[in-house]
Amino acid sequence: MTKMKIKPLPTQEYLLECFEHLGVHLIWLERPMEHFQDSWTHTLCKNRDAGTIAGSIDKKTGYISIYINSIPYLAHRLIYKMHTGIDPNIIDHKNRVRTDNRFENLRNGTHSDNLSNKSIYKNNKSGYSEISEAPTGWVVRDKINGKRVYVGIYPTLEEAIEAKKRWDEA
């Protein structure tokens, strides 16, 4: 598996000069002269988008994408940097809604953290992400320090759920 390359973001100061964060949206601000190559471009563009919601929903990913100086960025990454000054690794939306970019809904983590907050698959028969059906019963697994571990196999779903609960409490 190849490691995903994370694009560096503009500085926190630069982002705060570009946007105001209101609820789930970034709102364009009137941008200063330093953001442009020359005074003509500044005059032409500084107010063009001021006061409007930045970005649009990417049809492939469902995330909000914003172009700054012709470079696309994900809105949730920009918002995290605006609030913390930190270039995030992987941003996880706690409630799994890709367009809910309230700061309190975003957390910086790893790819593994993000996958653990993933919705269960539609074909999941148990209703639990750690319990799956096997030919001989129901298999219970969990993660410890990012590694999958085998908990056990149980003849009924109810027994598997109880075992998972006991495992989580231990």
d(CA 165, CA 27): 45
Burial of 106 (0-12, 13-18, 19+ CB in 10 A): buried
What is the per-residue pLDDT across 121-151, written as a single tens digit (0 to 9) for each? 666 777 777 888 888 999 998 877 667 888 8
Mean pLDDT of 72-93: 95
Please report, for the chain, the start and end positions of each structural domain, with discontinuous segments joined by +. 12-116, 131-169
| Residue 2's pLDDT band (cuts 50, 70, 90) | very low
Global confidence as pTM? 0.69
Range from 56-60, 64-68, 92-96 carrying the lowest mean pLDDT: 92-96
Which two tokens mark 12? Answer: 């926190």
Say which residue, 159 or 3, is predicted with more confidence.
159
